Amino acid sequence: MSDHHVKLNRVVELIHQRGFDGLIIYSSGISYILQPCYLYYFSGFRPMGPNNAVIISKSGDLILLVEPRWDSIRASKKSWIRDIRGTSDFLKDLTDILRKFNITGTIGVIGSGEMTTKLYEGIHQVAAIKLAGDIIEEIAKEKTERELDIIRKTANIADIGFKAFLEHARIGIREYELMAEMEFAMRSAGADDIFNMMSSGNHNYAMHPPTDRRLAPGDIVIGEITPACEGQFIQLCRTVFLGKPSSVLIEKYDVLVRALEESLKQVKSGNPASLISKNMNRVISEAGYAKYCYPPYMRARGHGFGAGSVAPGAVIDDDTKVNLERHQVVIVHPNQYIPETGYLACGETVLVTDTGMERLSKTETKLYINEG
């Protein structure tokens, strides 16, 4: 049985367990780093918007409804779902499908937060709505071999991105030119989406989208390198120095490396996610920077990536209440502002296992130096 039909059978099983007549997986086309697109995860089709939905009956019949109408051609090439319909009147056609599938009692809805009030109320006139986003989270906890392959492929793309970042982080190049070189390398390697942040200067305060600033001697160049492939984001955080670094910079970056290593020792199925943050903050605090481990200086010590990860959209900090689970994809990053050096980037994405974690990146964790 294919991965797709395993997902469908599991969804139908959960529809029956919840007492639903059917399920809507909705997307307005929004896709961003901290919020997995559940429609993309289930259907294999990345929607453009403004309205898209998979409608599933309790007998397992399903239709992918796509707006704009002409995008159904692309959907038919990307999705494993065979019944794909384009629409110019999304609400009318959606409610017609609900009635066709005899979904008139209670319907589970995934993605309601992206719906307009008019759309939500239009569905509610046909069936009682129950929020059901946790259904996808539930089935995504157990990764298929194909999904694990995508995770590792995307991690390799991030490594390729950093290689380009290191190669092109040279004196005179503009920030946006550096990012363009890195994006070209990752797109060429198979990335279908990219979220990159960076900063350059002798004392950085935060990362931001690239500007037209030219890199200069003595710059600390920091980057959050985050490609995606088939909806799965992977992040790599690294720092490059242009010139000969001071002993202070080397010493302070080593603090971040030690904080990362101590945090990764806590990554294991069943362990509290908060241990990642607590151990990171302990190492940095012992180095004399306890004040800088918390807001307003720092916000997150990590977060999950993709469906089935740690509280999608939430951060990992000292107060995180959930435990880590097998196959979760988690970024652990002691990115840190230090008064003597400015903001430094250090971190990588790992796969949680029963006995610990799989380190996905092949890029060595260290301060990188470009002296040329």
Residues 216 and 159 in one domain: yes
Boundary residue ending a domain (86, 119, 140) = 140
- pLDDT above 80 for 372: no
- Interval 203-215: pLDDT, tens: 999 999 999 999 9
- pLDDT above 80 for 108: yes
Could you tell me the CATH number of the domain that includes residue 214?
Answer: 3.90.230.10
Residue 311: pLDDT band by 50, 70, 90 thresholds? low
- Indicate the residue type of 15: I
- pLDDT above 60 for 362: yes
Look up residue 363 and give its two tokens: 């890029």
What are the φ and ψ backbone dihedral angles of 225, each rounded to 5 degrees?
-105, 110
CA torsion 181→49→156→349, rounded to 10°? 110
Residues 95 and 219 in one domain: no
Residue 34: pLDDT band by 50, 70, 90 thresholds? confident
Which of 26-35, 55-64, 95-104, 113-122 has the weakest average pLDDT?
26-35
Look up residue 353 and give its two tokens: 């296992």
Mean pLDDT value across residues 321-332: 95
| Single pTM value for the model | 0.93
Query: Which residues are registered as beta bridge partners of 131?
Result: 109
- Interval 156-189: pLDDT, tens: 999 999 999 999 999 999 999 999 999 999 999 9
Q: How many domains does the chain have?
A: 2
Mean pLDDT value across residues 118-137: 96
Contact 156, 362 (CB under 8 A): yes
Predicted local confidence at residue 312, as pLDDT: 64
Boundary residue ending a domain (92, 110, 140) = 140
Predicted local confidence at residue 4, as pLDDT: 84
Predicted local confidence at residue 305, as pLDDT: 92
Could you tell me the CATH number of the domain that includes residue 35?
Answer: 3.40.350.10
Q: Which domain holds residue 57?
A: 3-140
